[in-house]
Amino acid sequence: MEKKIRYTLGKNERLKSRKAIDQLFKEGKSFSVFPFRIIYLLASDDGGQTTDNSSVVSSPLVVVKRTLLQAGFTVSSKNFKRAVDRNKVKRLMREAYRLQKKELQQLVITGNKGMNVFFIFSGNEIPEYDLVFSKMTKALKQLQKLLNENTATNT
């Protein structure tokens, strides 16, 4: 019998820690795939180094031990005054991420890295799901490319 693939986004895969989020915004790198701005921070699983420099950072990347890839999602209240609208956009983003994260997750695991990612929606109108899905695909491909480049430079 064929094993069914489960596409989940569990509690341990979400970026919830205030400490980890602060570190991500302080030390992370970013790029844009309109309407997203993606902030990411990589670290080797031994916890000592980040990609920003080769020196040892005093506080290693905060990673929950069960998972090496964590993601967070946010929508600006400046562009969406109503919480209902912000929540809808976040649901669309999480769903698109949930269905497409497998390849990135495999790369992170095989590279023995830790990665925290934050997706910020910067558009000003509620998008269609198809747009969110296609832009999330581009963003995740870019993250895979960056992870591959980082793995190649460290080996």
Spell out the domain ranges in the chain: 30-154
DSSP for 51-64 reads: SS-SSPPSS-----
Of 12-16, 36-40, 48-52, 107-111, which range is least confident?
48-52
What's the pTM value of the predicted model, to 2 decimals?
0.83
pLDDT band (50, 70, 90) for residue 155: low
Q: Out of 3.90.1570, 3.30.450, 3.30.230, 3.10.350, which CATH number does the structure's domain 30-154 have?
A: 3.30.230
Measured in residues, the chain has a length of: 155
Query: What are the structure tokens assigned to 151, written together?
Result: 């793995």
